[in-house]
Copies of this chain bind each other. A is one copy, B any other.
Amino acid sequence: MAFSLTPRDSAFYAMFTEAGQNVAASADILSGLLDPNANRESIAKQLREREHAGDSVTHRIMRQLNTSFVTPFDREDIYRLAAALDDVVDAMEAAADFVVLADVGKLPALMADQINLLVTSAHETADAMARLKTLRDLEPYWIEVNRLENEADRVYRKLLSKLFSGDYDALTMVKLREVADGLEDAADALEHVAHAVETIAVKES
């Protein structure tokens, strides 16, 4: 088993693990929207709390980065990884917030597919963050997240095609499109996390 050289390294690994768990928790909260009787205000509020928790850990990572002489990975990779994890939660929060503020009504079935793919990808991500310390078994993670993102992209395009088909009035179309974009942003951000992890792993190998 690998072990970290300095207490500061341990701090980085612990913070990335925390950020990963926050991503998975956010996806689980987001999936509450799939229940037609869900209290959407409560879901948006819980995601706002997750966003603040994410801001807090990102901020601590950045402070640590700016005050450490030696870091376990290249500074720019730590920066990119932390920023991408932050983006995931921000995008989920923005999507849920918009569902409430624009009162978007019933979510299309393809949007449920988007959310389910996010949940799977977010849990893969949380698990991988806990393995950063040893850098073991990370390749299957980034391959799987790339696959899930391609699948999410396919679903997103199908959903857009449906939204622009004329089946919806213009106002509803614009609203649902906004939510679809937010969910697609979250999927993209999860892929950026995977790219950052791949970069780190390739450099260290």
Contacts and interface: CB of A to CB of B under 8 A. Distances in A.
Nearest to A159: B101
A203 B64 CA distance: 10
Interface residues on A, range: 20 to 34
A38 interface: no
A202 B171 contact: no
Contacts of A202: 63, 66-67
B164 A102 contact: yes
A74 to B, nearest CB: 9
A164 B66 contact: no
B160 A199 contact: no
A170 interface: yes
A101 B164 contact: yes
A111 interface: no
B97 A157 contact: yes
A161 B101 contact: yes
A175 interface: yes
8 contacts: A67-B203, A101-B161, A103-B165, A164-B171, A164-B175, A170-B170, A170-B171, A170-B174
Interface string A164-202: 111001110111000000000000000000000001001
A62 interface: yes
Interface string A74-93: 00100000000000000000
A199 B101 contact: no
A163 to B, nearest CB: 8
Given A101-B157, A101-B161, A164-B103, A66 B170 contact: no
A182 to B, nearest CB: 13
